[in-house]
A and B are shown apart, each in its own frame.
Chain A
Amino acid sequence: MTFSFTHLTSALALAAGLAVAPLMANAAESEGIVVYNAQHETLTQAWADGFTKETGIKVTIRNGSDMQFANQIVEEGAASPADVYLTENSPGMTLVDANKLFAPVDTATLAQVPENFKAVDGNWVGVAARSTVFAYDKTKLKEADLPKSMLDLADPKWKGRWGASPAGADFQAIVSALLELKGEDATKAWLKAMKENATPYKGNSVAMKAVNAGEIEGAVIYHYYWFGDQAKTGENSKNVLLHYFKNQDPGAFVSISGGGVLASSQHQKEAQAFLKWITGKGGQAVLRDGDSYEYAVGNGAQSNPKLVPLNDLQAPKVEPSKLNSKKVTDLMTEAGLI
């Protein structure tokens, strides 16, 4: 018998102790602010690095998705460890705001962003924007074959030819715009047709890859996936082009990524400073020069020159606080999409 159980256990216990000790140390030094981040990790990390460099305030990022965090914040209530909440789309913001969990955004910060990119009540502010597009396979579709409106995709002739990522906050934001613009019955009918016609993917990037691979002819996604891939290797988008619906179509919806400070935050000053920084010159320049390819929204801020200018998109007018995420998930559950 060369194997002693007790020796093994004590050795392992010691090892575990040694391994966990640095972990605890890591977690303990979480001064500065905590950001619940549903935005792309690389973008928020770039913002956090720039902010820390300028102010010395440390930023701890927790990553997740829009609605997961919105609900988590509601669940956490006053006990939330988060100081700042950043999203990719506004419905998550609206949900937290409806539960009265945001502190008002500093007026100086609000002044940096135009009217149509912030909440009417001033409790959250736009930090970036994204446009809905129809990413299509240029080897299969000519200009003339493209749908004129996103609603055309409900036509039986599109059966099995298009895709989307119905479980993602991104697509659900598009549906919430459709609901706001065209009403419940039209949305219901469109979602029912979508269940018939569309192939569901997990994530916009996966949907774009499927278009590129020839599995489907087009996908309803946001614009920046294509630009990001083109800037890297282009291997997931070499056969893909973007079609902008324009004409105030629901499919021309421009979604606002928002940021807000939680009323329960113990670091109000630092949290407000962070929002001010990302909506200001430094933060918006990250959008222009970085590899996120999302639109800058600050007053006078330039977006990446490769993008179709925000003003040329002819987006429909949608009041962000009216976007009803609850109703959307109910309708999508009813349609069997999620």
Chain B
Amino acid sequence: MRAPPLTAASRGRVPHASVIALASVVALLSLVPLGFIIWITVDTGWAQVVALIFRNRVGELLVNTVLLEVCTIPLCILLAVTLAWLTERTDIPGARLWSWLAVAPLAVPAFVHSYAWVSLVPGMRGLSSGVLVSVLAYYPFLYLPVAAALRRLDPAIEDAAASLGLNPWRVFFRAILPQLRLAICGGSLLIGLHLLAEYGLYVMIRFDTFSTAIVDQFQSAYNSPAANMLGGVLVFCCLLLLGIEVLVRGNERYARVGSGAARPVDRRRLGWFVVPAVALPVVVAVLTLGVPFVTLARWLYLGGTGIWRMETVGNALLQTIGLAIAGGLLATVAAIPMAWLSVRAPGRLQRVLEACHYYVGSLPGVVVALALVSITVRLILPLYQTFATLLLAYVLLFLPRAMVGLRASIAQAPVELERAAMALGRTPAQAVRQITMRLAAPGFAASVALVALGITNELTATLMLSPNGTVTLATKFWSLTSEIDYVSAAPYAFMMVVLSLPLTLLLYVQSKRTAGQ
């Protein structure tokens, strides 16, 4: 990096132009799928576009999608905040165990969750089942940031509130909850985007969303305009979600300044309330972990040793690991400029760039994949069906995941330290790297883990974009389950869980670390 002009550093500011340039490159890349949809729309012609968008089926899907979002997100918030409060702020016995178990469901891919439920209750289908499985599969995305935020709160604020005569409930609602706003918004947005993009989970329980309908259209394919129009509606839903999050998030600052440090919080005594308090994490663990593990154990038991064909299972495992690590790193590095900007230098242009970063992650893999297939096959043939293109798809699909972890941890690195470093003679780039990025390192690692987790369980884009001969655990699991060969599929599901466990553990450990310790 070229040393920037002295003036910026002497003013104690990191020059934004270069960071904006970097973020713009990523944002432009993320506009590729949208550009493709627009091009298809123009190509299709207005009359047909209207016919394809304003039809009953789209109405059905819209109702389904809205209901799914509206039912799932509040339930996730309620469950995640309650669990986080119990494990972080009360004297519940076994708090560490419960907090680990609250994160562990992330190690089970969403479609394995839903498969387990369908095995258990074959008649499960429709909205209520969709909401149930979605909450169980995705609430950890909220639990993680909320628990981390609770752990870092300065109890002095609560003390002040209590000294002003507020009872514990009102302290919680007036002093604690507002400080969790960033964490709740970030986590809810992530879940909301997942609900829009998820495919496998809803196929298993027969709940139609835009994503499943788009895949249906692609498989019946002569209709890619119809599929892309659905994709267009989906992009619109996503932008709406983003807008809502921006409105709710606000722009207060949450970093603590002043002398001294926050003291550790006292845990609230539960007394007789300990019985229902313990019952909640137990029930949740049974539903989120017990169900999939019992199902898997049954498959593996039925299959015996014959299903462990090491040649195929081992090969799929190796390829999955490679893709997950490479994609995780690339996506996180790509997200750094934007994450830094959104915290340090929010503005109108930055909002637009950030929206680009987020919207692309809500597209189903199949939309991104088709755009990249068409573009590479028509324009950049050397990249067609290469790992480079597949990794690019992963970067685009998982940018939001990378952003959330980074943004929250950069927000907690006080800008004053960056400026102090520059005052002591560091260049802006050095200051960001040595101060902010170090403080944000846990967030960086968490982002890599989150993205790697996502890649491990990614299905549609992998199917369409991977070079010939690539087999991942997820694609193999999916093809075997669609042949109702559940027994042979079990090792792949098991390996996905095993692979996801260390990543989930890393996430858990990182969220336990407080910045700067």
Contacts and interface: CB of A to CB of B under 8 A. Distances in A.
Bound together: yes
Interface of A: 1, 3-6, 8-9, 12-13, 15-16, 19-20, 22-24, 26-27, 30, 34, 40-42, 60-68, 70-72, 75-77, 79, 81, 95, 167-169, 172, 200-203, 205-206, 209-210, 213, 215, 225, 228-229, 232-233, 236, 325-326, 329-330, 332-333, 336, 338
B322 interface: yes
B222 A325 contact: yes
6 contacts: A40-B483, A63-B479, A95-B222, A167-B219, A172-B220, A200-B206
A63 B476 CA distance: 10
B325 A15 contact: yes
B323 interface: yes
Interface of B: 52, 55-57, 60, 122-123, 203, 206, 208, 212-213, 215-224, 226, 302, 315, 318-319, 321-323, 325-326, 329, 373-374, 377, 381, 384-385, 387, 433, 437-438, 441-442, 444-445, 448, 463-464, 467-470, 475, 479-480, 482-485, 487, 513, 516
Contacts of A8: 441, 444-445
**B interface secondary structure, majority:** helix
Contacts, number: 165
Contacts of A200: 206, 208
Contacts of B468: 27, 30, 34, 60, 62, 81
A41 B377 contact: no
A72 B376 CA distance: 12
A163 to B, nearest CB: 10
Contacts of A338: 57, 213, 216-217, 220, 223
A99 B480 CA distance: 32
> Closest 7 A-B residue pairs measured CB to CB?
A19-B322, A167-B216, A67-B221, A205-B484, A71-B221, A213-B122, A336-B57
A5 B433 contact: yes
Contacts of B57: 333, 336, 338
B51 to A, nearest CB: 9
A26 B325 CA distance: 17
B433 A169 contact: no
Contact of A72 (B213, B373, B479, B485): B373
Contacts of A19: 318, 321-322, 325-326
B49 to A, nearest CB: 14
A21 to B, nearest CB: 8
- The CB with the most chain A CB atoms within 10 A, among B212, B475, B482, is that of B482
Contacts of A42: 483, 485
Nearest to A43: B483
A1 B516 contact: yes
Contacts of A5: 433, 437-438, 441, 444
A309 to B, nearest CB: 25
Given A27-B469, A167-B219, A329-B222, A201 B206 contact: yes
Given A5-B433, A79-B381, A205 B483 contact: yes
A287 to B, nearest CB: 16
A68 B479 contact: no
Contacts of B326: 16, 19-20
B302 A233 contact: yes
